[in-house]
């Protein structure tokens, strides 16, 4: 389909980007465009202004901090995550999951920031970032703040980065003794997730985060064995959506299975 | 700087520089097809799934229906029209596609070729799985992908006739 | 009584026929130089966007286009009221009540499915047309919605077409053999309560579209469209537009896939014709993907109820009886032909003699249906394959042996089915053996144990299917005796140009089937030249006057009808060349002349030779002094291929409905994850037989594509609606089609059983017959045998449905009963 009329600006600094976002009601950031352009084509949403972040090179970096944390610039693309030596050495689950997103063309454009801020419940990275305990850095008119991933996702398509604000990086702590895993059932190979689970296992405890079953990722903790994990999922009394890819009961059941498999995958390495 | 509803862009396509005034809302694929008259790049869906619009932008394969023309200001784009030489000699991928019957209706073919080119530009010896991953974003409804995968593998090996 | 007498079969001589030569189409297509409909450019075009109903069923209380028209850059609009005044409703093929349906280019008075177009706006740019569409204000009054075909006939169901007074499009009874006697003879009766063939379509990658121009001075419309059956479109559009057929010129060059989904675009084309005339400018429309899914052309959905299958203890099946309800969506455009076309393959591939079907077609508030790849035969063949698979399963008979026991045998060919269709040739049992061998069927138990060790359930399923081709349109009279359609035809012309160039014109509209290439092979062999010497015009143009009422590319027929026309025209030309050369070279007669290497030469003196260049030049530019006997030698020969059909017997609904029967047998090996219902196809074979293959590589390509479409429909693709008539799968996210990583390893092979009824021994074969769906259903049922023993009763089995079968096998088992007789 075709977009409504829109204003376009391509700032050359983060400050200018934030200013544009704050000063224009109905302004949205444009990162990779793999979600927002589609949404605008369907006219499901029609921002008045798109603030193109393409020239903000400082948001594109992938680095390891002095403390060993993985700092992912919000504009790092999935392809960049996959080929990054820093990601591979510090927290490879990020690359492993990014490699499952859609296809090469989407991965060449889609960004960490886009995946996280659009917060479609079927997106891959939100459950992963919650599981590993990442932190999101947000810049607004009032300056910079950090929000833990657990508190970042507020609702369908809604995050703590509000109007006039910009997510600038996602900081992933070093794995240390923890190991990560991910499991999903998808619509076709590398397709949209029907149910997903990210798991981070430390010692004999598991942090499990379910995607696709609620408006935001669902965080659970359990002992890192299959039965305990499944029981924790049952205990969460999930109320997942029913749609053409399965009734609620199917997602509820799948959630148990992928949670246990994510934990098992964590046990096998990473 | 203030937002604009339209602007002048300068885009290099297949080595030629084009300057055009475009609305901000114009999709890159429509810019390529309608404004520049390069109709080899096709449109097959509304949601960026089918890949018929695939071009190479600044060295990477992208779906041109999910980019605005204004985002391509200053960029360098290769479309299917860049593959054959000026003398009409077909690119090895084009030759291999024909030799292996990797196209029937030909509608997905330009996008498929650009994804394949992107693969071979970065990976000279792809496995079958790598080839399938490279074209995973390109839908074909005619061939079942069997001959397409064969053609790309053959082109990678430098074997262009069946 | 219909008979089909075998023609003298000419096996293709050693030559280009049978060789997989390089394709002529490729050079332009690999360079992006194809001309698809959206590539056609004109000045001062009005781009068109259709305003479509957001309701599945509603009365149109008011339409206001004034705001849209006021937008700068908008050229004009069209609404239903205007259409009703300027056009007559489209001809309906059915009898009452279906015949009373009023179908126009835009919805008139009410909308009957989500996406039903109510207005069209034309503007200077595509974006402006889209903007203007949003400014059209439509007031709807919602009406109750009918989405379930089984309830479309309930007394309290909403009626879609008030003039018809019923949701029945067509209904009738088919009865052949003696079913009651079969019941008596049987040892068991297997009763299956319900089998459901789901709604999907082939979703060609290129959407429908057109560039339409109107010449005021001559009243001539030129329609550049990717419609794949212009013969049908013209027959529908001419009377509707109150204009002569020749005033509708159809032109196309390259079409990006059709699969039957580009047949019923005549409503949109009429709207464009009206706009082009009204606005006095060319108008352009390219469909959106969402619109193709919601409002273009779905495959028929069909429910089979109360199925009874009399069987002998050894597994010999004697026939079947059932009710069938076919859901054709909101309008009957190519329908109700689907109500008879299945009868081309009444007993499937089996020797079942006693058949009774009560068939009803209903309309519902869903997208109208069109002849999707496999049209109507696929639905029926899926049914026969489910029947044989379920019966074998329940009687604990070996699936391979039961099929071979029931298959029509090659020595019985040509075989007359219970309703008088003649299967021309084939060796089904042999093809099944080849397909099984390709997947290593003999090591099945080992594979099963291996899968089990990994926690998976392995299943193997057979899907055998027919691809009947070259319709006898007389079958339409079995639905409506007053229809004046019968037989079939296709046209070709071949000429020598002034400088001896061989030029071929086809009446077909290929969408990837390689007609230019294959036609050139036939022509080359007859004229003694190479395919490179043969220029085949790309595409279709009714101004070429090389078409007839049934021209187009649909229904698996080119290798018979198209090539039959090409062969006929080329033989006429060859004959003329020989006659001309005989006179010029002083030979005793045309039989003394042979054609080779671009020359016509005397057999007794090869030095006496006339190049084609000379032949063309003499007739076209240098004909003074030629004898009178050569007056009819024009070197421009047009031929209409006509298959040998009779009008079927309308009383008994008996007669030959199709000329050829290609076949495919697929075997699917899959592994089910019992925890999730997710299954993976780990091995797959497809064996095809389409008679003599003119270009084996092209044939194989069609088989690959048919596998992908079948697997897509089996695993992923469904057009599902909620109870409000909202389509849940209107884009490629939710309507997932197979991508490269979704395809299984695919092993293919072929045999050739030439058809005795065609001039080249070929059979049409493009559609395939949906064997992938049949095979996957059988394989899932096999896999679940040891985990609840559920029965597969749906054609579409996404992961959640398999999970449900594992979780609650009793629900499906309750649909099947075996009774001793």
Of A40, A41, A108, the CB nearest to B60: A108
Residues of C with CB under 8 A from a CB of A: 126-127, 130-131, 134, 288, 290, 675-678, 716, 718, 720, 728-729, 733-734, 736, 738-739, 741-742, 798-800, 803-804
Lookup: tokens for C571: 């033989």
Residue C477 Cα distances to C333, C474, C555, C651, C657, angstroms:
16, 5, 18, 10, 11
What's the average model confidence in pLDDT over C340-360?
98
What's the average model confidence in pLDDT over A181-199?
97
What are the backbone angles phi and psi of residue C153, rounded to the nearest 5°? -100, 5
Residues 6+ apart with CB under 8 A from A44: none
Residue among C178, C177, C160 at smallest CA distance from C169: C160
What are the backbone angles phi and psi of residue C371, rounded to the nearest 5°? -75, 75
pLDDT at A262 over 80: yes
pLDDT at C6 over 80: no
**What's residue C11's pLDDT?**
38
Fold of the CATH domain C489-641: Aldehyde Oxidoreductase; domain 4 (3.30.365)
pLDDT at C5 over 60: no
User: Do B144 and C732 lie within an 8 Å CB cutoff?
Assistant: no
Q: How far apart are CA C154 and CA C156, in angstroms?
A: 5
Q: A9 to chain B: nearest residue by CA?
A: B3
Q: What percent of chain C has pLDDT over 70?
A: 98
Lookup: tokens for C130: 């889209």
Q: What percent of chain A has pLDDT over 90?
A: 96
Lookup: tokens for B74: 């200053």
**What's residue C107's pLDDT?**
98
Q: Which CATH class is domain A7-52?
A: alpha beta
Dump pLDDT digits (tens) for A8-34. 999 999 999 999 999 998 999 999 999
Residues 6+ apart with CB under 8 A from C662: C466, C467, C468, C469, C556, C688, C689, C690, C691, C763, C764, C765
Dump pLDDT digits (tens) for C431-473. 999 999 999 999 999 999 999 999 999 999 999 999 999 999 9
C754 to chain B, closest Cα gap in Å: 24
Residue among C63, C66, C80 at smallest CA distance from C138: C63
Of B98, B110, B139, the CB nearest to C32: B110
Q: What percent of chain C has pLDDT over 90?
A: 98
**What's residue C3's pLDDT?**
42
Q: How far apart are CA C9 and CA C688, in angstroms?
A: 21
What structural domains does chain B harbor?
A: 6-81 (3.10.20.30), 92-157 (1.10.150.120)
Does C336 sit behind a cis peptide bond, omega within 30 degrees of 0 on the bond before it? yes
Dump pLDDT digits (tens) for A33-65. 999 999 999 999 899 999 999 999 999 999 999
Residue among C351, C353, C375 at smallest CA distance from C302: C375
Beta strands at C220-225 and C248-252: parallel, antiparallel or unpaired: parallel
B48 confidence band (pLDDT: 50, 70, 90)? very high
User: Do C800 and A191 lie within an 8 Å CB cutoff?
Assistant: no
**Prediction pTM value:** 0.97
**What's residue C10's pLDDT?**
42
> Residue ranges per domain, chain A?
7-52, 57-172, 179-267
* 3-state SS class at C302: strand
pLDDT at C791 over 60: yes
Query: Which of B2, B21, B23, B25 is the best mutation test for A, with the most CBs of A within 10 A?
Result: B25
Domain C172-201+297-474+648-820 has CATH 3.30.365.10: yes
For chain B, the straight-line distance linking the first and the last C-alpha, in angstroms and rounded, comes to 57
Q: Which residue bears the tokens 């209409």?
A: C640
**What's residue C234's pLDDT?**
96
Q: How far apart are CA C35 and CA C483, in angstroms?
A: 37
Dump pLDDT digits (tens) for C255-276. 999 999 999 999 999 999 999 9
Query: Which of C23, C27, C28, C32 is the best mutation test for B, with the most CBs of B within 10 A?
Result: C32
A6 to chain B, closest Cα gap in Å: 6
Contact A185, C678 (CB under 8 A): yes
Of A4, A187, A253, the CB nearest to C131: A4
Residues 6+ apart with CB under 8 A from C606: none
Query: Which of B45, B58, B66 is the best mutation test for A, with the most CBs of A within 10 A?
Result: B66
Q: Which residues of C touch B106 (CB under 8 A)?
A: 25-26, 28-30, 34, 254, 256, 512
**What's residue C2's pLDDT?**
37
Q: Which residues of A touch B50 (CB under 8 A)?
A: none
A198 to chain C, closest Cα gap in Å: 17
> Residue ranges per domain, chain C?
37-143+207-255+263-295, 172-201+297-474+648-820, 489-641
**What's residue A75's pLDDT?**
98
Query: Which of C49, C134, C800 is the best mutation test for A, with the most CBs of A within 10 A?
Result: C800
**What's residue A94's pLDDT?**
98
Q: Which residues of B touch A7 (CB under 8 A)?
A: 2-5, 24
Q: Same CATH topology for C172-201+297-474+648-820 and C489-641?
A: yes
pLDDT at C537 over 80: yes
pLDDT at B138 over 80: yes
C254 confidence band (pLDDT: 50, 70, 90)? very high
B137 to chain A, closest Cα gap in Å: 5
What are the backbone angles phi and psi of residue C80, rounded to the nearest 5°? -60, -40
Phi/psi-derived region of residue C15, left when phi > 0, alpha when psi is between -120 and 50, beta in every other case: left
Residues 6+ apart with CB under 8 A from C383: C195, C197, C302, C304, C322
User: Do B60 and A79 lie within an 8 Å CB cutoff?
Assistant: yes
C516 to chain B, closest Cα gap in Å: 12
Q: Which residues of B touch C26 (CB under 8 A)?
A: 97-98, 103, 106
Of B33, B106, B113, the CB nearest to C25: B106
A1 confidence band (pLDDT: 50, 70, 90)? confident
| Mean pLDDT computed over every residue of chain C | 96
* CATH code assigned to A179-267: 3.30.390.50
Q: How far apart are CA C481 and CA C467, in angstroms?
A: 26
What's the average model confidence in pLDDT over B40-53?
97
pLDDT at C9 over 50: no
Residue among A18, A193, A219, A232 at smallest CA distance from A132: A219
Q: Which residues of B touch C290 (CB under 8 A)?
A: 46
ipTM of the prediction = 0.98
* 3-state SS class at C531: helix
B1 confidence band (pLDDT: 50, 70, 90)? confident
Fold of the CATH domain C37-143+207-255+263-295: Aldehyde Oxidoreductase; domain 3 (3.90.1170)
User: Do A246 and C799 lie within an 8 Å CB cutoff?
Assistant: yes
pLDDT at C12 over 70: no
Number of Cβ atoms within 10 Å of the Cβ of A34: 26
pLDDT at C805 over 50: yes
* CATH code assigned to A57-172: 3.30.465.10
C14 confidence band (pLDDT: 50, 70, 90)? confident
How many CB pairs below 8 A link A and C?
A: 56
What's the average model confidence in pLDDT over B41-68?
98
Lookup: tokens for C48: 């068109």
**What's residue A268's pLDDT?**
81
Find the length of chain C.
821
Q: Is A63 on the interface with C (CB under 8 A)?
A: no
Which DSSP string do the residues of A202-254 spell out, in sequence order? Answer: ETTEEEEEEESSSSS-EEEEEESSHHHHHHHHHHT---PPPBTTB-HHHHHHH
Of B25, B107, B137, the CB nearest to C127: B25
Q: What percent of chain A has pLDDT over 70?
A: 99
B162 confidence band (pLDDT: 50, 70, 90)? low
**What's residue C489's pLDDT?**
96
User: Do C20 and B162 lie within an 8 Å CB cutoff?
Assistant: yes
Q: Same CATH topology for A7-52 and A57-172?
A: no
Residues of A with CB under 8 A from a CB of B: 1-11, 16, 20, 24, 27, 30, 33-34, 37-38, 40-42, 49-52, 54, 79, 102-106, 108-109, 189-190
Q: C21 to chain B: nearest residue by CA?
A: B99
Lookup: tokens for C764: 């049409």
Lookup: tokens for A242: 């029913």
**What's residue B161's pLDDT?**
64
**What's residue C259's pLDDT?**
97
Q: How far apart are CA A184 and CA A97, in angstroms?
A: 10
Of B25, B61, B71, the CB nearest to A3: B25
């Amino acid at each position: 389909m075709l977009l409504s009329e829109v204003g376009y600006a391509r700032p050359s600094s983060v400050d200018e980007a934030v200013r544009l976002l704050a000063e224009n009601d109905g302004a949205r950031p444009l990162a990779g465009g793999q979600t927002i352009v589609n949404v605008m084509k369907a006219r499901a949403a029609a921002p008045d202004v798109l603030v193109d972040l393409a020239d903000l090179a400082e948001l594109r970096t992938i680095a390891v901090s002095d403390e060993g944390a993985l700092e992912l610039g919000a504009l790092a693309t999935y392809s960049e995550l996959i080929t990054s030596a820093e990601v591979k050495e510090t927290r490879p689950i990020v690359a492993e999951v990014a490699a499952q997103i859609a296809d090469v063309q989407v991965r060449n454009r889609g960004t960490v920031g886009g995946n996280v801020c659009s917060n479609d419940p079927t997106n891959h990275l939100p459950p992963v970032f919650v599981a590993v305990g990442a932190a999101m850095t947000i810049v607004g008119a009032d300056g910079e703040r950090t929000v833990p991933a657990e508190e970042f996702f507020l609702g369908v398509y809604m995050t703590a980065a509000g109007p006039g604000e910009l997510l600038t990086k996602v900081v992933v702590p070093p794995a240390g003794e923890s190991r990560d895993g991910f499991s999903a059932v998808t619509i076709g190979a590398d397709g949209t997730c029907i149910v997903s689970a990210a798991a981070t296992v430390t010692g004999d405890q598991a942090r499990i985060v379910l995607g696709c079953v609620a408006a935001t990722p669902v965080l659970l903790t359990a002992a890192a064995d299959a039965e305990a994990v499944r029981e924790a999922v049952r205990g969460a009394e999930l109320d997942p959506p029913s749609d053409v890819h399965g009734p609620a009961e199917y997602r509820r059941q799948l959630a148990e299975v992928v949670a246990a498999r994510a934990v098992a995958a964590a046990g096998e390495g990473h | 700087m203030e937002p604009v509803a339209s602007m002048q862009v300068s885009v290099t396509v297949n080595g030629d520089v084009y300057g055009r005034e475009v609305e901000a809302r114009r999709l890159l694929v429509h810019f390529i097809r309608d404004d520049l008259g390069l109709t080899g790049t096709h449109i097959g869906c509304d949601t960026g799934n089918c890949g018929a619009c695939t071009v190479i932008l600044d060295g990477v394969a992208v779906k041109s229906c999910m980019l605005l023309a204004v985002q391509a200001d200053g960029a360098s784009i290769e479309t299917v029209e860049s593959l054959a030489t000026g003398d009409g000699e077909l690119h090895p991928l084009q030759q291999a596609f024909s030799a292996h019957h990797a196209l029937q209706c030909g509608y997905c073919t330009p996008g498929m070729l650009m994804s394949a080119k992107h693969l071979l530009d970065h990976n000279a010896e792809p496995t079958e799985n790598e080839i399938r991953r490279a074209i995973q974003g390109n839908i074909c409804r005619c061939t079942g992908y069997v001959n397409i995968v064969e053609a790309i593998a053959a082109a990678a090996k430098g074997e262009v006739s069946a | 009584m219909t008979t089909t007498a075998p023609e003298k079969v000419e096996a293709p001589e050693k030559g280009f026929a049978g060789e997989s030569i390089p394709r002529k189409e490729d050079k332009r297509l690999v360079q992006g130089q194809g001309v698809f409909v959206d590539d056609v450019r004109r000045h001062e075009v009005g781009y068109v966007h259709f305003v479509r109903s957001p309701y599945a069923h509603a009365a149109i209380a008011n339409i206001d286009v004034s705001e849209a028209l006021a937008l700068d850059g908008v050229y004009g609009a069209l609404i239903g009221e205007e259409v009703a005044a300027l056009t007559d409703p489209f001809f309906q093929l059915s009898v009452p009540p279906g015949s009373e349906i009023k179908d126009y280019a835009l919805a008139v008075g009410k909308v009957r499915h989500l996406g039903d177009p109510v207005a069209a706006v034309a503007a200077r740019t595509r974006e402006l047309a889209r903007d203007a569409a949003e400014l059209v204000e439509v007031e709807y009054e919602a009406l109750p919605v009918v989405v379930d075909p089984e309830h479309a006939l309930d007394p309290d169901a909403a009626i879609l077409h008030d003039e018809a007074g019923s949701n029945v499009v067509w209904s009738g009874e088919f009865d052949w053999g003696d079913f009651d006697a079969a019941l008596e003879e049987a040892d068991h009766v297997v009763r299956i309560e319900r089998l459901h063939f789901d709604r999907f379509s082939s979703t060609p990658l290129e959407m429908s579209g057109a560039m339409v121009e109107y010449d005021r001075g001559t009243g001539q419309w030129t329609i550049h469209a990717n419609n794949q059956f212009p013969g049908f479109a013209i027959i529908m559009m001419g009377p509707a537009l109150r204009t002569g057929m020749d005033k509708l010129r159809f032109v196309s060059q390259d079409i990006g896939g059709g699969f039957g989904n580009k047949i019923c675009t005549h409503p949109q084309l009429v709207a464009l014709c009206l706009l082009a005339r009204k606005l006095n400018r060319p108008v352009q429309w390219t469909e959106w993907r969402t619109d193709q899914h919601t409002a273009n052309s779905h495959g028929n959905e069909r429910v089979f109820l109360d199925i009874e299958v009399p069987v002998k203890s050894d597994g010999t099946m004697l026939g079947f009886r059932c009710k069938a309800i076919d859901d054709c969506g909101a309008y009957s455009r190519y329908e109700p032909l689907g109500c008879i076309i299945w009868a081309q393959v009444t007993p499937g591939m089996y020797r079942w003699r006693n058949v009774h079907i009560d068939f009803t077609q209903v309309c519902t508030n869903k997208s109208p249906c069109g002849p999707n790849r496999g049209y109507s035969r696929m639905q029926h063949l899926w049914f026969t394959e489910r029947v044989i698979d379920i019966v074998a399963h329940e009687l604990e008979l070996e699936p391979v042996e039961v099929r071979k026991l029931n298959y029509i045998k090659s020595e019985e060919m040509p075989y007359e089915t219970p309703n008088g269709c003649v299967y021309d040739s084939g060796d089904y049992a042999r093809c099944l053996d080849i397909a099984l061998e390709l997947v290593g069927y003999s090591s099945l138990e080992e594979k099963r144990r291996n899968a089990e060790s990994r926690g998976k359930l392995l299943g193997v399923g057979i899907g055998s299917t027919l691809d009947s081709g070259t319709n006898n349109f007389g079958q339409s009279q079995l639905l409506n005796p007053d229809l004046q359609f019968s037989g079939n035809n296709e046209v070709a012309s071949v000429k020598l140009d002034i400088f001896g160039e061989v030029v071929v014109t086809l009446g077909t509209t290929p969408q990837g089937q390689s007609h230019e290439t294959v036609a050139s092979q036939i022509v080359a062999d007859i004229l003694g030249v190479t395919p490179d010497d043969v220029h085949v015009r790309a595409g279709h143009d009714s101004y070429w006057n090389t078409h007839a009422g049934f021209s187009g590319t649909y229904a698996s027929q080119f290798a018979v009808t198209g090539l039959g026309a090409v062969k006929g025209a080329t033989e006429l030309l060859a004959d003329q060349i020989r006659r001309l050369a005989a006179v010029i070279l002083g030979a005793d007669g045309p039989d003394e002349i042979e054609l080779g290497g671009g020359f016509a030469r005397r057999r007794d003196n090869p030095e006496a030779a006339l190049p084609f260049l000379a032949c063309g030049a003499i007739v076209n530019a240098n004909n003074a002094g030629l004898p009178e006997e050569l007056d009819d030698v024009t070197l421009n020969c047009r031929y209409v291929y006509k298959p040998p059909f009779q009008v079927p017997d309308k009383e008994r609904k008996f007669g030959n409905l199709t000329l050829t029967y290609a076949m495919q047998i697929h075997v699917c090996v899959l592994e089910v994850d019992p925890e999730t219902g997710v299954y993976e196809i780990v091995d797959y074979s497809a064996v095809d037989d389409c008679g003599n293959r003119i270009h084996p590589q092209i044939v194989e390509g069609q088989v690959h594509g048919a596998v992908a479409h079948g697997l897509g429909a089996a695993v992923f693709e469904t057009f599902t609606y909620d109870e409000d008539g909202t389509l849940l799968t209107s884009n490629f996210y939710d309507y997932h089609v197979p991508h490269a990583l979704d395809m299984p390893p695919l092993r293919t092979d072929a045999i050739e059983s030439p058809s005795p009824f065609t001039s080249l021994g070929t059979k049409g074969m493009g559609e395939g017959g949906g064997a992938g769906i049949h095979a996957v259903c059988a394989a899932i049922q096999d896999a679940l045998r040891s985990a609840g023993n559920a029965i597969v009763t749906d054609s579409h089995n996404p992961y959640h449905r398999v999970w449900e079968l594992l979780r609650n096998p009793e629900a499906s088992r309750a649909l099947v009963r075996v009774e001793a007789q």
